């Protein structure tokens, strides 16, 4: 990886910085260890909740179905995303460490975006699953076979790795003209690309990666729910509509939880809204840290089979008398 001169002359073109500077949670820099407690608590609860989902789906043969397989992938991406964020967050919380090396920053950026796009892709696959189950219930078992699910998984892996693998190398060799101060507590590629000199080719590729995933997926999910809504309107009774709608409740909640903060952050950035930086930082934490914490609760509460299987596994086994 090339090196980056640390001076910040506006018109000077330089290569990648040896360090980037992160921002902590505003107002807590004087007492950094205080917010380590909620951070660790959120991470442990996220790991515990998603671990329970992974455990019960892996152990229960009755849950080896498309909907629960996608839920398995969602929990894996949630664990990966929260784990990728923790190194810099805990460094800021415990030691008020704002400087992070370029190689470590690009590595974190890669994993954060890969797991984010995995989550977005899985949410799209789950929307497709629900649309097929409600719109084509008789053909659902033949449409979403194990072979089709395997192809979906390969497509998700190719999409995430194929699109994001070039990014660290492109950003490492782009010319930079601005001070190496980021606006978040972790490394994100729009944040790093913003420091580059105008006209860099990597910025165009970065925009393509963002739009191909985070721009396309919500539109396709919205289209899937449009199809579902049309079918629900045609059902005879309110009870039938309620039962069918309930199968989508957890997924729709997860979609809103993941995309709404992201869209708000994008609008604030693009429209240059006069929002205080602490509010943007907190909204960024909500976008990245809340879904891994809340998703296991949503699916455990809304999906009866998950709840019953966990309860059954946690019950003490009765030992009969010989």
Domain boundary assignment for the chain: 31-305
Mean pLDDT value across residues 273-300? 85
Say which residue the tokens 């090196």 belong to.
3
Q: Which residues of 139-177 are buried (b: 16+ CB within 10 A; e: fewer)?
A: eeeeebeeeebeebbeebeebbeebbeebbebbbebbbb
Residue 112's pLDDT is 93
10-36 pLDDT tens trace: 444 555 556 888 887 665 555 556 777
Instruction: Specify the fold of 31-305.
Output: Rhopdopsin 7-helix transmembrane proteins (1.20.1070)
Distance CA 92, CA 225 (A): 41
The token pair that represents 160 in the structure block? 């995430």
Q: Which range has highest mean pLDDT (3-7, 80-84, 178-182, 235-239)? A: 80-84
Note the pTM of the prediction, 2 decimals: 0.86
170-217 pLDDT tens trace: 888 877 777 788 888 888 888 888 887 766 556 677 777 777 777 889
Residue 322's pLDDT is 45
């Amino acid at each position: 990886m090339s090196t980056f001169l640390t001076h910040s002359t506006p018109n000077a073109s330089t290569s990648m910085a040896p360090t980037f500077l992160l921002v902590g949670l505003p107002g807590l820099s004087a007492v950094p260890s205080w917010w380590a407690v909620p951070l660790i608590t959120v991470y442990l609860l996220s790991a515990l909740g998603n671990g329970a989902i992974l455990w019960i789906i892996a152990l229960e043969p009755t849950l080896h179905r498309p909907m629960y397989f996608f839920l398995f992938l969602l929990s894996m991406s949630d664990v990966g995303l929260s784990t990728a964020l923790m190194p810099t967050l805990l460094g800021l919380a415990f030691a008020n460490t704002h400087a992070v090396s370029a190689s470590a920053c690009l590595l974190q950026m890669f994993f954060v975006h890969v797991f984010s796009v995995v989550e977005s892709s899985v949410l799209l696959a789950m929307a497709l699953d629900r649309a097929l189950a409600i719109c084509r219930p008789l053909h659902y078992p033949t449409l979403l076979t194990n072979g089709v699910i395997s192809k979906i998984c390969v497509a998700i892996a190719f999409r995430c790795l194929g699109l994001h693998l070039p990014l660290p190398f492109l950003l490492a060799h782009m010319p930079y003209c601005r001070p190496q101060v980021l606006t978040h507590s972790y490394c994100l590629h729009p944040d790093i690309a913003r420091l580059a000199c105008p006209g860099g080719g990597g910025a165009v590729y970065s925009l393509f990666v963002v739009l191909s995933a985070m721009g396309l997926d919500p539109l396709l999910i919205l289209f899937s729910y449009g199809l579902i809504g049309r079918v629900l309107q045609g059902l005879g009774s309110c009870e039938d509509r309620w039962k069918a709608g309930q199968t989508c409740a957890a997924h729709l909640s997860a979609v809103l939880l993941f995309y709404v903060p992201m869209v708000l952050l994008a609008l604030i950035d693009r429209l240059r809204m006069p929002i205080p930086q602490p509010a943007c930082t907190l909204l960024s934490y909500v976008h990245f840290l809340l879904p891994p914490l809340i998703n296991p609760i949503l699916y455990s509460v809304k999906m009866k089979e998950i709840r019953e299987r966990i309860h059954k596994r946690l019950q003490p086994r009765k030992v009969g008398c010989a």
